[in-house]
Amino acid sequence: MRPLRRIDRCRAHGVRRCASPRLCPRLQVELDRVRSWTLAGPWRAHLPGPWPDAPRVHRLRSAVRPCRSGCRVSTYAEVDVEGLISKYLRAVPAIVAATAGRVYTDLPNDRAYPLVLVQRSGGPPVSGFGLANAALTVTVYGIRHVDAQQLTASVLAALLDLPGAYDEGYVTNVVPNSTAYSPDSDSPDSAGHARPRYVSEITVTCHP
């Protein structure tokens, strides 16, 4: 009679797993189910568009990491949305002409104006389908008030055309939430006045 293989219980997930280095059966089924979904699936109508007209298989990219008990669980790679947006804005002719390509994710110590700063400020955790609703703050610094205002309008108009496919991932929707004028007294202009600054809050829906 063949001996039975030793079966352990995964303390992290509450499911039984084989002692051999394989995925927990229940986790394997869940991973296969998520990987097999496509953009033409029944949940497509619940996601913000636009989507391509032709059905196209898109497998969510995932990584596998070990848990403390030794089994492996799937985790989703998150989109570098800051890098994606800053790279996108540096390719928009109107913004390049106004800023000479000065679009950053962190303010440099030695900086010239005008410039655009893109920073992720929050957002809920990545959903089970790999979707992320990232909250971002887009800050525009100008030399004059009118310059900062016009540059802010150009940036927000460009971001509305952001949805699409990129090397970093897919953007499905962009929602501008608010824009406020907030002069920066910590970096005054040449006359000693607070520097013109507009702060915009946006939400970007994206996935790998």
pLDDT tens-digit map of 155-194:
999 999 999 999 989 999 999 999 999 999 888 888 889 9
What does the domain layout of the chain look like in residue ranges? 7-76, 81-207
- 114 has a pLDDT exceeding 90: yes
Cα 33–38–44 angle (5° rounding)? 110
Query: What's residue 11's pLDDT?
Result: 46
Confidence of residue 60 (pLDDT cuts 50, 70, 90): very low
Closest CA to 135 of 204, 35, 192, 184: 204
Distance CA 18, CA 4 (A): 11
DSSP tag of 137: E
Residues 6+ apart with CB under 8 A from 119: 82, 105, 106, 136, 137, 139
CATH topology of domain 81-207: STM4215-like (3.30.2000)
Instruction: Identify the pLDDT of residue 34.
Output: 52
pLDDT, tens only, 8-43? 444 444 444 444 444 455 555 555 555 554 444 444
Is residue 63 pLDDT above 60, yes or no? no
Token pair 């090397």 is at which residue?
Answer: 167
Percent of the chain with pLDDT over 90: 48
What's the pLDDT at 10? Answer: 45
Q: List, for residues 125-152, the tens digit of each pLDDT value.
A: 776 667 889 999 999 999 999 999 999 9
Report the candidate in 85, 72, 63 with the shortest Cα–Cα distance to residue 28.
Answer: 72
